[in-house]
Amino acid sequence: MCGIIGFSSKNKYILHKMLQSINYRGPDDRGIYEENGISLGHVRLSIIDLSSYGHQPMVFDNLVMVYNGEIYNFVEIREELIDSGYTFDSQTDSEVILKAYHKWGIKAIDKFIGMFAIAIYDKKKQELVLIRDRVGVKPLYYYFDGKDFLFASELKPIMEYKKDLQIDKDALYEFFQYGYISNDLSIFENCFKLPPGHYLKFDLQTKDIEIKQYWSILPFFQAPKFQKSENELVDELEELLVEAFKYRMVGDVPVGVFLSGGIDSSVVAAILQKHYGDINTFTIGFHEAKYNEADWAKRVAKYLGTNHTERYLHVDDAKGILEKFVDIYDEPFGDSSGIPTTLVSRVAKEHGVKVVLSADGGDEIFCGYDRYWYSYAIGSNLFKIPYPLRLMISKMMDIIGVDNASKLIKIKNFAHKYNQLSEMLKDREWKDLYEKIVHNAKNYELRELVGQVFTKNMESFKIGEKEHPMQGMMLWDFHRYLPDDILVKVDRATMHNSIEGREPLLDHRIAEFMAQVPFEYKYRNGTSKYLLRKVLERYLPKELIDRPKMGFGIPMFEWFGGELKTLFREYFLEDDEYINMEFVRLQYKKLEEGKPVNINLLWFVLVYKMWKRRYLV
């Protein structure tokens, strides 16, 4: 795991400043490459071949490369290249990538199993190529204003180079809507994330940019579904999981597993403990019972016989991490579970682990989020009502108004439910309904806060919806929530602690396989992750599997309605040119008075204000 940077000019001073800003991503080594019109930089976290032979930038013939990530099947590719006449000086995957690209060009990516953000400069063609892995495990930003071209693993190096960056309003509004910014935008104008499964070519002479997609999950959903028995599917899935998980153990340093006790992390820990042995597992617990999964994780770890460590997160720990939150996430980022993820990464680092496996992706691939069946239940009933009638009801609700209706109906959190129903009644499609449900800040709140609602086309939803509306929801999350929230959270939290996070469930072969599995094996008769559970039943007793899903959340209302409340007060006093702070202060007043309030919206505003003070003021 490493950090990479580059820009289309030559300036050694700024090159080192940019590298220093992400030194925690690779404290073991640092390297630069310069020539007229191009500068490349790399900071290295040594995982495979700890010797100096892994130093980057790496040069071969006309190619210069900086790279972040892991290619787990590099040994097999290396043997193929040796058979073709290539020789190797190191045992690194970096050298394999460079020589594979030399032989096969961009088609080399099709051979890679792993996570990666790669930059290759071709001296002959005067061309820079950026490549991001299929699912988006590794981050890769780029900036282009028609003159300067920059790229980096995070935004910090770009902010070191460009001191006049301007906020992108669409990105900011999307952040308030979801708590994250999608993968083809960033918080700044002219600055973007390279989407997962894409590569970018930049011509240093003409300054032309070309972006192409090299992989997509969608063709596998459009292919015929498997016509196999349940036992055949379970056997094939288990075989895939075992191979994918073993690949993620490749390295010359200690490895651990984040264990929540849920289905996904239990599968990872169970398979590795059986097929690899002596696994280190790590868990974060909460003193607030309804958020605490530590007891379940301990029971799973005890049954499997792993080397288990748990740490309880107290509000004082949260305060310490909050002080660094916008340094860890250098773009506004609202997933509060970044706090426990940062702490569990720190705990793993303290125990000598340099690589951790996190079980992200299971919900999106196997159908695990309870919001899927919750949304489906709402939509199934709502869409039975003819649209003209629904539209008329919604207009009547708007005329009556929430204040008048609340005088007649006394139920908890009535205003929110009334406004949300009024908006859902207007929806024509499943996608629109689902987006309203996953919005952390609801549309009626966003109109008060920023004056508009961010919208984005998602063709993948319709492809999944043809099989089942919940499959459309899963694809929405696979293309948005997973790469732009979950994977960002794990990458920044682990890298802040100078350890590498790996995502075994996101082996693209698992995703491709499950895309062709009929939906009935993902969700059946109220049972989520049906096929994955069948695999896990081969490793754990059912009493450790069948339990309510909790997720990795924190006691937001308890903490921010209590000891952390003063943070809001400090940042909410000043006005802001982008958002309606009077509306924010009104919501904060409700919090102080103990009235129902969207605590996530207040948290998003706090993160934005903290970020803005840190980077722009």
Give helix then strand counts, H and E, for the chain: 29, 19
Taking the C-alpha atoms of residue 557 and residue 560, their distance in angstroms, rounded to an integer, is 5
Beta bridge partners of 152: 5, 141
523-524 and 307-313: which strand pairing? unpaired
Beta bridge partners of 25: none
Dihedral angle sign, alpha carbons of residues 588, 592, 598, 600: positive
Smallest CA-to-CA distance from 545 within 303, 347, 331 is with 303
pLDDT digits (tens, 9 = 90+) for 487-520: 999 999 999 999 889 999 999 999 999 999 999 9
What's the pLDDT score for residue 47? 64
Smallest CA-to-CA distance from 291 within 357, 336, 342, 350 is with 336
Decide if 167 contacts 136 (C-beta within 8 A): no
What's the pLDDT score for residue 411? 75
Instruction: Please confirm, yes or no, whether 2 is among the known catalytic residues.
Output: yes
What's the pLDDT score for residue 560? 72
> How many Cβ atoms from other residues are within 10 Å of residue 251's Cβ?
18
> Which among 2, 233, 343, 531 is annotated as catalytic?
2
What's the pLDDT score for residue 552? 55
Residues of the chain with pLDDT under 50: none
The SS3 call for residue 570 is: helix
The SS3 call for residue 612 is: helix
Decide if 361 contacts 513 (C-beta within 8 A): no
Count of residues making up the chain: 617
The helix (H) or strand (E) run that includes residue 46 is: none
For residue 188, the 8-state DSSP code is B
What's the pLDDT score for residue 357? 92
Decide if 41 contacts 156 (C-beta within 8 A): no
Phi, psi of 525 (to 5 degrees): 50, 45
280-286 and 255-258: which strand pairing? parallel
Which residue shows structure tokens 């999608």?
A: 182
Hey, what amino acid is at 70? E
In sequence order, the 6+-apart residues with CB closer than 8 A to the CB of 401 are none
Distances in Å between the alpha carbon of 99 and those of 105, 546, 580?
9, 48, 54
**Structural fold of domain 2-213:** Glutamine Phosphoribosylpyrophosphate, subunit 1, domain 1 (3.60.20)
Query: Where in 355-460 does DSSP place strands (E)?
Result: 355-357
Taking the C-alpha atoms of residue 531 and residue 169, their distance in angstroms, rounded to an integer, is 42
CB neighbour burial string for 579-600, b if at least 16 within 10 angstroms, e if fewer? bebebbeebbeebeeeeebbbb
What's the pLDDT score for residue 252? 65
Distances in Å between the alpha carbon of 198 and those of 95, 123, 530, 589?
22, 22, 32, 46
The helix (H) or strand (E) run that includes residue 142 is: strand 141-144
In sequence order, the 6+-apart residues with CB closer than 8 A to the CB of 239 are none
Decide if 250 contacts 70 (C-beta within 8 A): yes
Sheet with strand 355-357: strands edge to edge: 307-313, 280-286, 255-258, 355-357, 500-502
All CATH 3.60.20.10 domain ranges of the chain, comma separated, are 2-213
Residue 422 tokens, joined = 């009024």
Taking the C-alpha atoms of residue 413 and residue 231, their distance in angstroms, rounded to an integer, is 46
CB neighbour burial string for 360-386, b if at least 16 within 10 angstroms, e if fewer? bbbbbbbbbbeebeebbebbeeebeee
> 57: cis peptide before it, omega within 30°?
yes
Taking the C-alpha atoms of residue 135 and residue 198, their distance in angstroms, rounded to an integer, is 10
Sheet with strand 38-44: strands edge to edge: 29-35, 38-44, 2-7, 149-152, 141-144, 191-193
Taking the C-alpha atoms of residue 239 and residue 197, their distance in angstroms, rounded to an integer, is 25
Query: Where in 336-412 does DSSP place strands (E)?
Result: 355-357
Decide if 508 contacts 240 (C-beta within 8 A): no
Decide if 196 contacts 216 (C-beta within 8 A): no
Smallest CA-to-CA distance from 376 within 528, 531, 600 is with 528
pLDDT digits (tens, 9 = 90+) for 65-115: 999 999 999 999 999 999 999 999 998 999 999 999 999 999 999 999 999
Residue 254 tokens, joined = 């200690």
The SS3 call for residue 419 is: helix
In sequence order, the 6+-apart residues with CB closer than 8 A to the CB of 522 are 366, 367, 471, 474, 514, 528, 529, 530, 531
